[in-house]
Amino acid sequence: MPFGLTNAPASFPKLFNDIFQYHLDVYAVVYLADIMVFSKYEEEHVTHVLTVLSRLRANNLFPKVSKGLFHVSSVEYLGYVVSSKGLKMDQAKVQQILNWPPPRNLKALQSFFGFASFYRCFINNYSKKISLLTNFLKKDSCFPLNEEALSQFHQLKEAFTTAPVLSHFNPSLPTIVETDASNYALGAILSQVSDSGKHPIAFNSRKRIPEELNYEIHDKELLGIVWALKRWRLFFFLSLPLLKFSLIILLFNTSCLQKFLLAVKPAGLNSSLNFTSQSLTALATIYSSGCLITLGRHLSGEGRGFNQQESNELSTAQQAG
């Protein structure tokens, strides 16, 4: 089907999905007419490339050699620079962001957001960094930007120059989810720990909807955790996630937990940060998650009551499993 027709964008990917159905995400990635072949070792890479080319030829598809790159360790693909070290932003596009003038009207601001948001997964707390700028997206907003919004605009552009390289996800490494719930935004970091230290895998954030602005602090913290786990749930089928958050999340009441359809109801903890009961550890194992206490203050509770509650939850989880 020739390009330009209505069904062409859908028909072309379907054709490639049929051709490479046994190779996609194994050693080949296809987006429309762009094919990337990746391998762990150079010897097997030759075999993979020949397999892809032979599949194309068998279906009367012939790539243009002048547009291809072969046997490279780093390649620009769909706006990203992909290498064995991870994923990073295309510096040419980053330079476009740095050269972007301050928006003087609504359309200009929308264009900037549309371009910059493509790389939001590289920016920690992106939604928080654009909180003042988003106020100007309203149709009755007055331009130019005020001093505070203009300062945030320049700080956002600066954040693109210091964005880290996002490492490739490795199912064999420990996975950490760190959440940050402010009064107006949610933020989360997905990272993994290797012998060389902790490396970011992805950043994510979003602005709170009006209803969420009225949540109590423990509801806001729990919302951030639930949202982050849903956002990256596919990674957690492959690796054991370790949640890293404030101790305040262990203080939820029954109504708060029922709102998020959660069954566990911790009521309080020993005043010692080193306190970890065997029941709580076993319960976390059943739910395929870990808990790392980092900081925070909590209400004093009656220890025996808490241990009885978690023991009951442990029995329920074991029976359900």
What φ, ψ does residue 213 adopt, rounded to 5°?
-70, -20
Within-domain flag for 193: yes
Q: How far is CA 49 from the centre of its chain?
A: 31
Cα–Cα distance, 133 to 158 (Å, whole number): 15
Verify that 197 and 268 share a domain, yes or no: yes
The alpha-helical segments, DSSP class H, found in 121-245 are 126-129, 131-134, 147-161, 217-231, 233-236
Q: pLDDT 10s digit of each residue in the chain, 321 long?
A: 666 777 777 888 888 999 999 999 999 999 888 899 999 898 899 999 999 999 999 999 888 888 889 999 999 998 999 998 999 999 999 999 999 999 999 999 999 999 999 999 999 889 889 989 998 988 788 888 899 999 999 999 999 988 899 999 988 888 888 888 888 888 899 998 888 888 999 999 998 888 888 888 778 888 888 888 888 887 876 665 555 543 333 333 334 444 544 444 444 444 444 444 555 455 455 545 555 544 443 333 344 444 555 555 556 555 555
Verify that 183 and 272 share a domain, yes or no: yes
Instruction: Quote the pLDDT of residue 149.
Output: 92
Verify that 52 and 113 share a domain, yes or no: no
CA distances from 296 to 142, 224, 274, 306 (A): 41, 16, 13, 19
Amino acid at 204: N
Verify that 97 and 140 share a domain, yes or no: yes
Q: What's the number of domains the chain is made of?
A: 3
Verify that 207 and 139 share a domain, yes or no: no
Q: Which of 106, 136, 161 is the last residue of a domain?
A: 161
> Is residue 228 exposed (0-12), middle (13-18) or buried (19+ Cβ within 10 Å)?
buried
Query: Cβ(80)–Cβ(88) under 8 Å?
Result: yes
The pTM (predicted TM-score) of the whole model is 0.67
Q: Hey, what are 60's tokens? A: 């009367």
Give residue-wise pLDDT tens across range 296-317.
433 333 444 445 555 555 565 5
